[in-house]
Structure 1
Amino acid sequence: MAKGHITFDALNLMAKNNIKLISINYFGQINYILESPNQNNIVLKKLQYQASENHN
């Protein structure tokens, strides 16, 4: 749990190999998730994101 850096080359390699990058804060909460846009079910992913934002 510390500050760090990542290069665009590393991000491109991760995207080519379908590896997600997950940023977690000090409290263990997810800040963001980066993943390759080449996912087959992008509509489902958008709906899942919208559902996660609904606090009801």
Structure 2
Amino acid sequence: MTQADLADRIGVTRQTIIAIEQGKYSPSLEVAFQIARVFDVPLDDVFQYPDS
């Protein structure tokens, strides 16, 4: 799946996907859940909250 495909499936721009991948943007919970749903994996397999 390309960045553009993922963006289209969840209703964001390709630039948003790039920014998420590069750690420059933290997605909303809705977007995070949509990404996890597209890949059929638990949310914490896609995103991890950094320990502080």
Query: Into which bin does the TM-score normalised by the smaller protein fall?
Result: under 0.3
More helix by share: 2
TM-score (norm: length of structure 2): 0.27
Larger Rg: 1
More strand by share: 1
